């Protein structure tokens, strides 16, 4: 078979006859490669803040009489790096929980209006008045896991704030459509070049690493969004133009509309 690797087991069967069992290992090799990549990326991401913290600790131990103002600026930088590591580990744990098949989606009625208003307030706090953020609410409640859906929407809205310069506008729209409930998170920020769009939901994929770090990104946000949406049978559509802005649309299936009180 071309381009495929097969494992062949020879198993004794009914005295002398034998059967061959073949497994296609192309898929398992791919998964193995993804796992190796993930571990390499995660270690690299954690090593950077650790190196910074260790460096400052070494200075502190070698120069105990360091000027107070210098020492407090070192402490501040160490706290920032510690927080960065914490965000990374939390996002990695969230992803691994979402991927585990044993962990079923909890189905509960989600009060969408309450959730979206709460996310709006958080986004306004993050933006600190630098953006105009609005919510158009005209859709039904849905059923699903409220924690997971909140974290997916919150990731999209946080990204919109982070990747939109001052005075930009961010719109959240919740509506019903013939295909089912739909969420749109739209910004007029920096936008994304076409070549990157299909890779954005890969773990640790970032268009601009330094900007993502500056804005406290872990590079795992959209991977978390993707997994939450798969678990809720919803689809993500990303449309973007460099320098013009981005639109993230989430299409939920019709049967996501909550029926239980
Ligand atoms: P990060 O933590 O780096 O934001 P994400 O997985 O949330 O990681 O997003 C991956 C990358 O997609 C980001 O680093 C950024 O380059 C790009 N991106 C995501 N949302 C937007 C947006 N609204 N506008 C522009 N670029 C975005």
Residue located nearest, by CA, to atom 2 of ligand 1: 217
CA 223 to ligand 1: nearest atom:
6
Other Cβ atoms closer than 10 A to 170: 25
Centroid of ligand 1 to alpha carbon of 218 (angstroms)? 9
Answering whether pTM is above 0.90, one says no
Q: Quick check: 16 pLDDT over 80?
A: no
pLDDT band of 68, cuts 50, 70, 90: very high
Q: What integer best gives the mean pLDDT of the chain?
A: 90
Centroid of ligand 1 to alpha carbon of 188 (angstroms)? 14
Most distant CA pair in the chain, distance: 84
At 105 the pLDDT is 82
* Cβ pair 153, 159 in contact under 8 A: no
Q: What is the pLDDT of residues 104-130, one digit of tens each?
A: 788 899 999 999 999 999 999 999 999
Q: Quick check: 18 pLDDT over 90?
A: no
Centroid of ligand 1 to alpha carbon of 101 (angstroms)? 27
Q: Quick check: 164 pLDDT over 80?
A: yes
CA angle 211, 216, 220 (to 5 degrees): 90
Helices 112-127, 146-162: crossing angle, 10 deg rounding: 30
Ligand 1 pocket, mutate which of 221, 223, 243 (most atoms under 8 A from CB): 221
Residue located nearest, by CA, to atom 4 of ligand 1: 217
| Phi and psi torsions of 129, nearest 5° | 80, 5
Which residues lie closer than 8 Å to 240 by C-beta, 6 or more apart?
Answer: 191, 192, 194, 197, 246, 247
Our answer on whether the CB atom of 91 is closer than 6 Å to any ligand 1 atom is: no
CA 203 to ligand 1: nearest atom:
6
Torsional sign, CA 113, 115, 118, 122: negative
CA 207 to ligand 1: nearest atom:
16
Our answer on whether the CB atom of 245 is closer than 6 Å to any ligand 1 atom is: no
Our answer on whether the CB atom of 180 is closer than 6 Å to any ligand 1 atom is: no
């Amino acid at each position: 078979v071309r381009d495929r690797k097969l494992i062949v087991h020879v198993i004794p069967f009914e005295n002398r006859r034998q059967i061959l069992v073949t497994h296609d290992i192309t898929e398992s090799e791919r998964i193995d490669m993804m796992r190796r990549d993930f571990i390499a990326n995660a270690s690299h991401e954690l090593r950077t803040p650790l190196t910074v913290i260790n460096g400052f600790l070494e200075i502190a131990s070698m120069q105990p009489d360091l000027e107070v103002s210098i020492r407090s600026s070192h402490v501040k930088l160490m706290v920032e790096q510690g927080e960065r590591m914490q965000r990374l580990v939390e996002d990695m744990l969230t992803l691994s929980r979402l991927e585990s098949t044993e962990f079923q989606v909890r189905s509960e009625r989600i009060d969408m209006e309450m959730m979206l208003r709460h996310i709006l307030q958080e986004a306004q706090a993050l933006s600190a008045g630098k953006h105009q953020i609005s919510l158009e609410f005209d859709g039904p409640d849905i059923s699903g896991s409220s924690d997971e859906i909140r974290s997916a929407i919150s990731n999209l809205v946080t990204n919109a704030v982070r990747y939109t310069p001052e005075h930009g506008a961010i719109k959240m729209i919740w509506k019903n459509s013939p295909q089912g409930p739909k969420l749109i998170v739209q910004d007029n920020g920096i936008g994304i070049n076409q070549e990157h769009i299909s890779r954005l939901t890969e773990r640790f994929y970032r268009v601009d690493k330094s900007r993502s770090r500056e804005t406290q990104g872990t590079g795992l946000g959209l991977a978390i969004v993707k997994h939450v949406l798969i678990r809720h049978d919803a689809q993500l559509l990303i449309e973007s133009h460099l320098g013009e802005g981005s639109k993230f649309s989430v299409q939920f299936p019709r049967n996501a509309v909550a029926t239980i009180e």
